Every structure is written in C-alpha cells, then in structure tokens.
Amino acid sequence: MSTRVAELAMAILMGVFSLYLMYKSAELPVGWIPDEGPGGGAWPFWLSVMMLLSCVGIIVNWARRKGSVAVSEEPYIERGVLIEVGLVALALIVTVGTVRPDRRLRRVAAVPVILLAVSRESFLGVVYFLLPADSDHHVFLF
C-alpha cells in the first residue's frame, strides 16, 4: 500500500469515526444549558466536528494531489515493521483481554508475545524466565 492510499484510507476511517462520535455525543446536551454552562456532549461533539473537517480537508488535498504525502507512491510500511507492529498489537489485545482477575493465566501467556514483539532474541529470555528455577534446561538457551 502506498503512502497516498494509506492517507486516503485513514482520512475516510477517521471521518466515519468522527460521525459516530458526533452521533453518540449528541445523546447528551450539546448546547449551552442556562445557569450551568455547556452540556455534557458539547466538548466531544465539537471536537468530532473539527476532526471531520480535518478529514474532509485531507480528502480534498488528496483528490487535488496537493502536498508531498498526497502524491507519494512510496510504500507506507515495510513488511518487517508491519510484523513487529502486529506483534505489539497482539500483545496489547491479549493483555487488555486479561483485565479480569479470573484470567491470570492469559496474562502470563501475554508476556512471551510482548517480549517477542520487542525483540526476537528476547523470546529466549522469556523461555528462560518461565522455566522452573531448578531446571537444568536453561543452561542451553544462552
């Protein structure tokens, strides 16, 4: 995927997300409430409007091919970087999915994924960390 295509995809995605946030924040009062001030939905609503306007500006510049990013055909992300970012995202998903106390086992399972995402060599360190202290196998890992 080129940088140009990635910019368009993110502008569309963020624009749709802005519309969703505008819709949800409009469930609360968006305007001024007499003797109280702005309603609870005012800040998120108007912030979402600004995000949407920014996305529209990005799409207009993309269509007009104005700006260095809007004309760039360079690859957006290299394969190796994508794999590392994917591993970090996977580790975060596993870690966040273990917030409940009854999921402690999964939290331990997230440690190797996190360290593998940081460095491929760290995976051996994780195996060493998870072995019992009296195990002789850890001598052969390093």
37: β partners: 33
Assign 14 a pLDDT band (cuts: 50, 70, 90). very high
More confident residue, 99 or 121: 99
pTM: 0.58
Give pLDDT, residue 118. Answer: 57
Q: Are 7 and 58 in contact (CB under 8 A)?
A: yes
Domain definitions of the chain by residue range: 3-71, 79-141
Residues present in the chain in total: 142
Q: Return the number of other C-beta atoms located less than 10 Å from residue 114's C-beta.
A: 17
Q: Write out pLDDT tens, residues 29-79.
A: 888 888 888 888 889 999 999 999 999 999 999 999 888 877 888 888 887
> Tokens 């109280």, residue?
36
Mean pLDDT of the region 134-138: 48
3-state secondary structure of 68: helix
Q: Which residue has the tokens 């196998």?
A: 137
Least confident of 18-22, 42-46, 115-119: 115-119
pLDDT-based confidence at 138, cuts 50/70/90?
Answer: very low
Residue carrying structure tokens 């596993």: 94
Of residues 18, 88, 106, 114, the one with CA closest to residue 58: 18
Q: How far is CA 37 from the centre of its chain?
A: 34
